[in-house]
């Protein structure tokens, strides 16, 4: 009888130690008040504001540091105007092109293909259809920047992912890809 | 007489038959004519499909409104000549003041359709033939259901087999119990006493207590092993390796990062430039999911990840971001998604993603593990201080093309007498680098 109780206690204990960590919950902490300080962390839930989140939208009219104003409106006319007259402030050099290539491969190649021929992986897997080759479209650096800024048709705006300088670097690389395709 | 009667009867029957058959024959003849006529015009649905996919599909779907209207049955709605003109140059028609053209332009928020002067009338005929084409309801649905039932069967069969085995086991146990019971009762009736060994373990215990060396060594063993387990238990406190919380939207990294090969930084774009890798805002999701409204990829039926399940998760995204699928526009009625943070360093540690991702060029997988294989994301590394230090001791600093480090690299490699410096030799183990 003693043996049975001894073994059952052992099994129960090993079970307890093994099942201690519930994967869907974070583990215990030593001194939690040092791990999580009193200050709010980003996106934390909080009743300090009306909508219950710590992160708030900037006040209307706020301009972030390094923000460059962009005057062309998000309309067909704005697009045509940007295509016609908007020029890149960056000079064409290897540094900008290599940076542009790096960013292009992260943000654009998945649809437009690493060569700009519209044969990205999402196109090949038929998640998107009808992505044109850059060679078939009459695009300029200005129009590419405009589309990156606002998006066009099914392509969404990428302004939240890349800043103004990076958008210009990508545009420069896109035009270099187009020139290679046309040749 | 009877013979005559039969012949007249057969004649009348054959007449009847002819009168019935002739209109049918005529019909089939016309059908043949029409099909011939069509084939003479060379309407090629396959060609139409490839043209449609290459030129139209970026803005139109067959059954659903996208940027432009759904194209199924469009040739019935408009005159053919009008369609030719519209597809080749819609902007010119709007300028010329064509009423139908302006109506469409206004209906779709003044989004101009690209001009396709490169398409010939025959190309457009092919495309229209494809948009009108209704695929015959082939037996695909039955094959699909068959496949499902065949995959569903084995699990059911397994359950049945397991149940049967359990029943058999129970029967065996009860039988054994009954047999021993009857045997002992028989033995008792016959006057035989069954001795059960009771004193033996007791004597072992007595011998054990008398032997002092055995007691000493077992106590030491006990202390050491309990210290070992206590140490192991203490060391895993505050370590969340393997943490796998349930997220409000079942986002599969396996599908996005694995199957579709989307770069990590497409969504976690701030890892490149800031301290945090960041949770992508929902507009980044909508860059693709404006178009992809339902899931058509692989399923995992055992775990319940069906196409409906994934499509339903996309609907959750639409609800949170306030996207109306019917009108293809935002309602402005949004709600935050309460993602659960997995990788969370204590607040007394400074860690910077940009320094590791952009400057050092560390691959995301090095710390986050095979994310592209994770259906549900979990914490791969322990994220303890020892884990950080190990890497800082072993990894070399990437000094190539980095002017910032040129001078200090030269001086330090002279000091340590090495070619390649580790992060630790650059001061990567200083307390103040991460704790301040």
Domains, chain A, ordered by start: 76-182 (1.10.760.10)
Structure tokens at B309: 């399940």
Judge residue A171's burial from the number of C-beta atoms within 10 Å of its C-beta, 0-12 exposed, 13-18 middle, 19 or more buried.
buried
CA atoms within 13 A of residue B188's CA, in its CB half-sphere: 6
**Which one, of B170, B63, B65, lies nearest residue B108 by Cα?**
B65
pLDDT at A7: 66
- According to DSSP, the residues that pair with B422 across neighbouring strands are B396
pLDDT of residue B269: 92
pLDDT-based confidence at residue B19 (cuts at 50, 70, 90): very low
* Interface contact B115, partner A, CB < 8 A: no
pLDDT at B121: 82
pLDDT, tens digit, for every residue of A148-183? Answer: 999 988 889 999 899 899 999 999 999 999 999 988
- How far apart are the C-alpha atoms of A135 and A182, rounded to whole Å? 6
- The torsion region of residue A130 among left (phi > 0), alpha (psi -120 to 50) and beta comes to left
Task: Decide if B240 touches A, using CB distance below 8 A.
Answer: yes
Considering chain B, what percentage of its residues have pLDDT values greater than 90?
33
Count other Cβ atoms within 10 Å, centred on residue B361.
8
Task: Report pLDDT for B416.
Answer: 86
For residue B324, give Cα distances in angstroms to B107, B108, B125.
Answer: 16, 15, 33
At residue B330, φ and ψ (nearest 5 deg) are: -85, 135
Residues of chain A with Cβ-Cβ distance to B233 below 8 Å are 17, 20
| B310 within 8 A of B317, measured Cβ to Cβ | no
Per-residue confidence band for B124, with pLDDT thresholds at 50, 70 and 90: confident
Domain residue spans in chain B? 1-41, 45-132, 207-237, 384-436
Q: What CA–CA distance (Å, rounded) separates A64 from B155?
A: 58
Calculate the alpha carbon distances from B426 to B58, B401, B436 in Å.
52, 17, 18
B428 pLDDT tier (thresholds 50, 70, 90): confident
ipTM for this model:
0.85
B236 interface with A at CB cutoff 8 Å: yes
Closest by CA to A68, choosing from A174, A159, A157, A152, is: A159
CA distance B73 to B52: 14
Point out the residue among B112, B237, B240 whose CB comes nearest to the CB of A76.
B112
Low-confidence residues in chain A, pLDDT < 50: none
pLDDT of residue A14: 63
On the CB side of B265, CA atoms within 13 Å amount to 24
- In this structure, the strands spanning B329-330 and B323-324 are antiparallel
Fold for the domain defined by B45-132: Cytochrome Bc1 Complex; Chain D, domain 2 (1.10.760)
On chain B, the residues whose CB falls within 8 A of the CB of A131 are: 58
Q: How far is A34 from chain B (nearest CA, A)?
A: 7
Q: Do the Cβ atoms of A110 and B245 come within 8 Å?
A: no
Identify all chain B residues contacting A17, using CB atoms and an 8 Å cutoff: 229, 233
B276 touches chain A (CB under 8 A): yes
Distance in angstroms (rounded) separating the CA atoms of residues B135 and B72: 12
Q: Is the pLDDT of residue B154 over 90?
A: no
> B104: pLDDT confidence band, cut at 50, 70 and 90?
confident
Among residues B293, B327, B292, the alpha carbon closest in space to that of B108 is found at B327
Q: Are A4 and A12 in contact (CB under 8 A)?
A: no
Answer yes or no: is pLDDT of B201 > 70.
no
Enumerate the β-bridge partners of residue B420. none
Band of the pLDDT at B21, cuts 50, 70, 90? very low
**Token pair 């332009």: residue:** B105
**Are A120 and A113 contacting, i.e. CB atoms less than 8 angstroms apart?**
yes
Q: Is the pLDDT of residue B142 over 60?
A: no
B284 vs A72: CA distance, rounded Å: 22
Longest dimension (CA), chain B: 132
Q: Which of B362, B197, B387 is nearest to B277 (CA)?
A: B362
pLDDT at residue B9 in the model:
47
**Residue B407 contacts A where some CB pair is shorter than 8 Å:** no
Of B28-32, B295-299, B370-374, the one with minimum mean pLDDT is B28-32
């Amino acid at each position: 009888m003693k043996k049975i109780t001894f073994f059952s206690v052992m099994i129960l204990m090993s079970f307890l130690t093994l099942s201690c960590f519930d994967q869907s919950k974070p583990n215990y902490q030593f001194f939690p008040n040092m791990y999580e300080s009193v200050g709010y962390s980003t996106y934390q839930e909080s009743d300090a504001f009306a909508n219950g989140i710590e992160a708030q939208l900037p006040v209307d009219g706020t301009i972030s540091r390094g923000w460059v104003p962009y005057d062309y409106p998000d309309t067909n006319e704005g697009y045509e105007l940007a295509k016609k007259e908007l020029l890149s402030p960056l000079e064409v050099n290897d540094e900008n092109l290599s940076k542009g290539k790096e960013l292009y491969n992260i943000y654009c190649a998945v649809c437009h293909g690493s060569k700009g021929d519209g044969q990205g992986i999402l196109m090949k897997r038929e998640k998107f259809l009808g992505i044109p080759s850059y060679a078939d479209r009459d695009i300029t650096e200005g129009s590419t920047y405009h589309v990156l800024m606002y998006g066009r048709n099914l392509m969404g705006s990428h302004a939240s992912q890349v800043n103004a300088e990076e958008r210009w670097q990508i545009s420069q690389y896109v035009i270099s890809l187009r020139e290679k395709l046309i040749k | 007489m009877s013979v005559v009667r039969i012949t007249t009867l057969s004649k009348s029957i054959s007449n009847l038959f002819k009168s019935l058959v002739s209109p049918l024959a005529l019909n089939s003849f016309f059908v043949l004519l029409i099909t011939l006529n069509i084939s003479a015009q060379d309407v090629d649905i396959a060609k139409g499909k490839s043209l449609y996919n290459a030129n139209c599909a970026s803005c139109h779907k067959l059954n659903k409104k996208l940027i432009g209207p759904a194209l199924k049955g469009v040739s019935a709605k408009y005159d053919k000549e009008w369609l030719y003109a519209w597809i080749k140059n819609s902007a010119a028609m709007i300028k010329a003041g064509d009423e139908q053209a302006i109506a469409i332009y206004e209906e779709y928020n003044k989004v101009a359709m690209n001009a396709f002067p490169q398409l010939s009338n025959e190309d457009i005929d092919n495309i229209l033939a494809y948009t009108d084409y209704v695929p015959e309801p082939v037996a695909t649905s039955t094959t699909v259901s068959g496949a499902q039932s065949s995959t569903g069967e084995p699990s059911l069969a397994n359950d049945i087999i397991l149940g049967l085995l359990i029943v058999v086991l129970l029967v065996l146990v009860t039988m054994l119990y009954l047999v021993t019971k009857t045997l002992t009762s028989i033995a008792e009736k016959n006057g035989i006493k069954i001795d059960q060994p009771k004193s033996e373990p007791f004597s072992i215990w007595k011998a054990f207590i008398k032997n002092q060396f055995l007691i000493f060594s077992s106590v030491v063993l006990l202390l050491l092993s309990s210290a070992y387990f206590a140490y192991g238990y203490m060391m895993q406190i505050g370590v969340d390796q393997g943490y796998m919380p349930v997220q409000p939207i079942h986002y599969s990294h396996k599908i996005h990062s694995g199957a579709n090969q989307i770069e990590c930084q497409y969504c976690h774009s701030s890892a490149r430039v800031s301290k945090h890798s960041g949770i992508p805002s929902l507009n980044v999701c909508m860059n693709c999911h404006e178009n992809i409204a339902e899931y058509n990829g692989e399923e995992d039926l055992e775990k319940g990840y069906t196409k409906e399940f994934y499509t339903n998760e996309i609907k959750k995204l639409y609800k949170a971001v306030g996207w109306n699928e019917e009108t293809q526009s935002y309602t402005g009625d949004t709600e935050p998604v309460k993602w659960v943070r997995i990788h969370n360093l204590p607040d007394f540690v400074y860690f910077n993603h940009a320094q590791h991702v952009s400057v050092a060029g560390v691959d995301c997988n090095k710390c986050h593990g095979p994310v592209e294989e994770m259906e549900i994301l979990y914490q791969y590394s322990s994220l303890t201080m020892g884990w950080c230090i190990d890497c800082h001791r072993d990894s070399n600093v990437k000094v190539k093309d980095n002017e910032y480090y040129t001078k200090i690299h030269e001086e330090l490699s002279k000091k340590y007498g090495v070619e390649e410096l580790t992060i630790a030799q650059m001061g990567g183990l200083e307390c103040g680098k991460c704790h301040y």
